[in-house]
Chain A
Amino acid sequence: MSPKRLSLRVQLHLKLSLSCESPAAVPSTEANQGFDPPHQSDTRTVYVANRFPEHGHYIPQRFADNRIISSKYTIWNFVPKNLFEQFRRIANFYFLIIFLVQLMIDTPTSPVTSGLPLLFVITVTAIKQGYEDWLRHKADNEVNGAPVFVVRSGSLVQTRSKNIRVGDIVRVAKDETFPADLVLLSSDRADGTCHITTASLDGETNLKTHFSVPETSVCQSVSQLEALQAVVECQQPEADLYRFVGRVTVTQHGEEIVRPLGPENLLLRGARLKNTKEIFGVAVYTGMESKMALNYKCKSQKRSAVEKSMNTFLIIYLVILLSEAVLSTILKYAWQSEEEWNEPFYNQKTEQERNSSPILQFISDFLAFLVLYNFIIPISLYVTVEMQKFLGSFFIGWDLDLYHEESNQKAQVNTSDLNEELGQVEYLFTDKTGTLTENEMQFRECSINGIKYREMNGKLVPEGMTGDSPGGSSPQLMSEELLFLKAVSLCHTVQISYNQSESWLGGDPFSHTNSFSFSHMEYYAASPDEKALVEATRRIGVAFTGCSGDTMEINTFGKTEKYKLLHVLEFDPNRRRMSVILETPSGGKMLFTKGAESAVLPFTTTGEIEKTRLHVDEFALKGLRTLVVACRHFSPKEYIDVDKRLMSARTALQRREEKLQQAFAHIENNLHLLGATGVEDKLQDKVPETIEVLRRAGIKIWVLTGDKHETAVSVSLSCGHFHRTMNILELLQQRSDNECAEQLRRLARRIKEDHVIQHGLVVDGASLSLALREHEKLFMEVCKNCSAVLCCRMAPLQKAKVVRLLKTSPEKPITLAVGDGANDVSMIQEAHVGIGIMGKEGRQAVRNSDYAIARFKFLAKLLLVHGHFYYIRIATLVQYFFYKNVCFITPQFLYQFFCLFSQQTLYDSVYLTLYNICFTSLPILVYSLFEQLVHPDILQAKPSLYRDISKNSLLSFRTFLYWTVLGFTHAFVFFFGSYLLMGEDTSLMSNGQMFGNWTFGTLVFTVMVITVTLKLALETQFWTWMNHFVTWGSIAFYFIFSLFYGGIIWPFLHTQDMYFVFVQLLSCGSAWFAIVIIVITCLFPEVMKKVLYRHLCPTSTQKSQSLSAPQAQALSCVESLCCYQHGQSGCSRLARLLEQMTGQCKASVNNCHTSSRSNRSWSDTENFYSNDRTILTLSPIEASRC
Chain B
Amino acid sequence: MVKEEQEESSNRPDNTAFTQQRLPAWQPILSASIVIPMFLLIGAAFIGVGVALFITSRDIQLQELDYTGDDSEHPCFKCRTNTEKCTCSMTFSIPTLFKGPVFFYYGLTNYFQNQRKYGASKDDNQLYGDLDYFTNPSTDCDPYTRDSKNMPIVPCGALANSMFNDSFSLSHTVNGVQKIVPLDGKGIAWWTDYNIKYRNPTLNSVFFSGTKKPTNWPKPIYELDTTDVYNNGFINQDFLVWMRRAALPDFRKLYRRITHDDYADGLPAGNYTLTIAYNYPVHSFNGKKKVVLSNVSWMGGKNDFLGIAYIVVGSMCVVMSVVMLIVYARFKFAEDV
Q: Which residue of chain B has its CB nearest to the CB of A1020?
A: B28
Q: Are A930 and B23 in contact (CB under 8 A)?
A: yes
Measured between alpha carbons, how far is A394 from B281 in the docked complex, in Å?
A: 69
Q: Are A986 and B247 in contact (CB under 8 A)?
A: no
Chain A residues near B254 (CB, 8 Å)?
Answer: 987, 992-994
Selected A-B contacts with CB under 8 Å, 16 pairs? A340-B285, A399-B19, A408-B8, A932-B25, A981-B303, A987-B294, A992-B296, A992-B301, A994-B244, A1049-B196, A1049-B197, A1068-B299, A1105-B27, A1120-B23, A1123-B16, A1125-B15
Chain B residues near A1105 (CB, 8 Å)?
Answer: 27, 29
Task: Evaluate whether A898 and B114 lie within 8 angstroms (CB atoms) in the complex, with A983-B305, A1074-B306 already known.
Answer: yes
- Which of A348, A1060, A1084 contacts B158 (CB under 8 A)? A348
Q: Are B22 and A1119 in contact (CB under 8 A)?
A: yes
Q: Are A981 and B250 in contact (CB under 8 A)?
A: no
Q: Are B241 and A994 in contact (CB under 8 A)?
A: yes
Chain A residues near B142 (CB, 8 Å)?
Answer: 350
Asked if B270 lies at the interface with its beta carbon under 8 angstroms from chain A, I say no
Asked if B162 lies at the interface with its beta carbon under 8 angstroms from chain A, I say yes
Which residue, of B13, B19, B121, B162, has the highest number of chain A Cβ atoms within 10 A? B13
Q: How far is the CB of A325 from chain B (nearest CB, A)?
A: 15
- Which of B31, B42, B187, B253 contacts A994 (CB under 8 A)? B253
Q: How far is the CB of A673 from chain B (nearest CB, A)?
A: 48
Measuring CB to CB, which residues of chain A are less than 8 angstroms from any residue of chain B?
Answer: 108, 340-341, 344-351, 394-395, 397-400, 403, 408-410, 869, 898-900, 902-905, 930, 932, 936, 977, 979-997, 999-1001, 1018, 1021-1027, 1049, 1054-1056, 1059-1060, 1064, 1068-1070, 1073-1074, 1077, 1080-1081, 1084, 1087-1088, 1090-1092, 1094-1096, 1098, 1105-1106, 1109, 1112-1113, 1115-1117, 1119-1120, 1123, 1125, 1132
Task: Evaluate whether A990 and B117 lie within 8 angstroms (CB atoms) in the complex, with A350-B143, A1095-B331, A1120-B24 already known.
Answer: no
Q: Which residue of chain A has its CB nearest to the CB of B243?
A: A996
Asked if B168 lies at the interface with its beta carbon under 8 angstroms from chain A, I say no
Q: How far is the CB of B38 from chain A (nearest CB, A)?
A: 8
- Which of A403, A936, A1094 contacts B30 (CB under 8 A)? A1094
Measured between alpha carbons, how far is A936 from B23 in the docked complex, in Å?
A: 12
Measuring CB to CB, which residues of chain B are less than 8 angstroms from any residue of chain A?
Answer: 8-9, 11-17, 19-32, 35, 39, 42, 46, 49, 53, 101, 103, 105, 107, 111-121, 124, 128, 142-144, 158, 161-162, 187-190, 192, 196-197, 241, 244-254, 257, 281, 284-286, 294, 296-306, 309-310, 313, 316-317, 320, 324, 327-328, 331-332, 335
Q: Are A1070 and B303 in contact (CB under 8 A)?
A: yes
Measured between alpha carbons, how far is A1095 from B324 in the docked complex, in Å?
A: 9
Chain B residues near A408 (CB, 8 Å)?
Answer: 8-9, 11-12
Q: Are B162 and A990 in contact (CB under 8 A)?
A: no
Chain A residues near B251 (CB, 8 Å)?
Answer: 985, 994
Measured between alpha carbons, how far is A1049 from B124 in the docked complex, in Å?
A: 11
Q: Are B313 and A991 in contact (CB under 8 A)?
A: no
Measured between alpha carbons, how far is A484 from B189 in the docked complex, in Å?
A: 110
Measured between alpha carbons, how far is A991 from B121 in the docked complex, in Å?
A: 29
Chain B residues near A1109 (CB, 8 Å)?
Answer: 27, 29
Chain A residues near B12 (CB, 8 Å)?
Answer: 400, 403, 408, 410
Minimum-distance CB pairs A-B, first 3: A346-B162, A986-B301, A1000-B247
Task: Evaluate whether A898 and B249 lie within 8 angstroms (CB atoms) in the complex, with A395-B21, A1070-B306, A1125-B15 already known.
Answer: yes
Measured between alpha carbons, how far is A351 from B31 in the docked complex, in Å?
A: 65
Q: Which residue of chain A has its CB nearest to the CB of B196?
A: A1049
Chain B residues near A349 (CB, 8 Å)?
Answer: 143
Q: Which residue of chain B has its CB nearest to the CB of A404?
A: B11
Q: Are A346 and B161 in contact (CB under 8 A)?
A: yes
- Which of B25, B249, B317 contacts A1024 (CB under 8 A)? B25
Given contacts A348-B144, A1059-B192, A1069-B299, 16 further A-B contacts (CB under 8 A): A340-B285, A346-B111, A399-B19, A899-B114, A981-B303, A993-B187, A1000-B247, A1001-B247, A1021-B28, A1026-B23, A1055-B124, A1056-B197, A1077-B306, A1091-B324, A1116-B25, A1132-B15
Chain B residues near A984 (CB, 8 Å)?
Answer: 107, 250, 252
Measured between alpha carbons, how far is A1088 from B322 in the docked complex, in Å?
A: 12
Q: Are B327 and A1106 in contact (CB under 8 A)?
A: no
Q: Are B31 and A1106 in contact (CB under 8 A)?
A: yes
Q: Are A399 and B27 in contact (CB under 8 A)?
A: no
Chain A residues near B303 (CB, 8 Å)?
Answer: 981, 983, 986, 988, 1070
Q: How far is the CB of A525 from chain B (nearest CB, A)?
A: 26
- Which of A403, A986, A1000 contacts B300 (CB under 8 A)? A986
Task: Evaluate whether A1073 and B299 lie within 8 angstroms (CB atoms) in the complex, with A997-B114, A1092-B327, A1125-B15 already known.
Answer: yes
Q: How far is the CB of B37 from chain A (nearest CB, A)?
A: 12
Measured between alpha carbons, how far is A1105 from B27 in the docked complex, in Å?
A: 9
Q: Which residue of chain A has its CB nearest to the CB of B253?
A: A994
Measured between alpha carbons, how far is A997 from B23 in the docked complex, in Å?
A: 46
Which residue, of A397, A903, A980, A986, has the highest number of chain B Cβ atoms within 10 A? A986
Q: How far is the CB of A183 from chain B (nearest CB, A)?
A: 34
Q: Are B252 and A999 in contact (CB under 8 A)?
A: no
Measured between alpha carbons, how far is A350 from B309 in the docked complex, in Å?
A: 45
Chain B residues near A1084 (CB, 8 Å)?
Answer: 39, 313, 316-317, 320
Q: Are B301 and A347 in contact (CB under 8 A)?
A: no
Q: Which residue of chain A has its CB nearest to the CB of B249?
A: A898
Q: Are A1120 and B22 in contact (CB under 8 A)?
A: yes
- Which of B32, B116, B118 contacts A346 (CB under 8 A)? B118
Q: Which residue of chain B has its CB nearest to the CB of A411?
A: B13
Measured between alpha carbons, how far is A1060 from B195 in the docked complex, in Å?
A: 12
Chain A residues near B301 (CB, 8 Å)?
Answer: 986-988, 992
Measured between alpha carbons, how far is A747 from B313 in the docked complex, in Å?
A: 63
Q: Are B335 and A1095 in contact (CB under 8 A)?
A: yes
Task: Evaluate whether A988 and B124 lie within 8 angstroms (CB atoms) in the complex, with A341-B285, A403-B12, A1000-B247 already known.
Answer: no
Chain B residues near A992 (CB, 8 Å)?
Answer: 101, 103, 188, 254, 257, 294, 296, 300-301
Q: How far is the CB of A1045 from chain B (nearest CB, A)?
A: 14
Measured between alpha carbons, how far is A1116 from B115 in the docked complex, in Å?
A: 57
- Which of B19, B23, B281, B327 contacts A1096 (CB under 8 A)? B327
Q: Are B15 and A400 in contact (CB under 8 A)?
A: yes
Q: Which residue of chain A has its CB nearest to the CB of B286?
A: A340
Q: How far is the CB of B180 from chain A (nearest CB, A)?
A: 21
Q: How far is the CB of B227 from chain A (nearest CB, A)?
A: 23
Measured between alpha carbons, how far is A737 from B7 in the docked complex, in Å?
A: 57
Which residue, of A1070, A1084, A1105, has the highest number of chain B Cβ atoms within 10 A? A1070
Measured between alpha carbons, how far is A1113 from B25 in the docked complex, in Å?
A: 8
Q: How far is the CB of A401 from chain B (nearest CB, A)?
A: 8
- Which of B197, B304, B332 contacts A1095 (CB under 8 A)? B332
Q: How far is the CB of B51 from chain A (nearest CB, A)?
A: 13
Measured between alpha carbons, how far is A399 from B11 in the docked complex, in Å?
A: 11
Q: Are B13 and A410 in contact (CB under 8 A)?
A: yes
Q: Are B297 and A904 in contact (CB under 8 A)?
A: no
Q: Are B15 and A1070 in contact (CB under 8 A)?
A: no
- Which of B124, B190, B249, B250 contacts A1060 (CB under 8 A)? B190
Q: Are A902 and B21 in contact (CB under 8 A)?
A: no
Which residue, of B17, B49, B284, B310, has the highest number of chain A Cβ atoms within 10 A? B17
Chain A residues near B39 (CB, 8 Å)?
Answer: 1084, 1087
- Which of B13, B115, B124 contacts A900 (CB under 8 A)? B115
Measured between alpha carbons, how far is A995 from B12 in the docked complex, in Å?
A: 62
Measured between alpha carbons, how far is A629 from B328 in the docked complex, in Å?
A: 74
Q: Are B112 and A900 in contact (CB under 8 A)?
A: yes
Q: Are A990 and B13 in contact (CB under 8 A)?
A: no
Measured between alpha carbons, how far is A1087 from B286 in the docked complex, in Å?
A: 46
Measured between alpha carbons, how far is A1070 from B298 in the docked complex, in Å?
A: 8
Q: How far is the CB of A333 from chain B (nearest CB, A)?
A: 15
Which residue, of B11, B120, B244, B300, has the highest number of chain A Cβ atoms within 10 A? B300
Task: Evaluate whether A1073 and B49 lie within 8 angstroms (CB atoms) in the complex, with A348-B143, A898-B249, A1090-B30 already known.
Answer: yes
Q: How far is the CB of A868 from chain B (nearest CB, A)?
A: 12
Chain A residues near B49 (CB, 8 Å)?
Answer: 1073
Q: Are A399 and B305 in contact (CB under 8 A)?
A: no
Q: Are B27 and A994 in contact (CB under 8 A)?
A: no
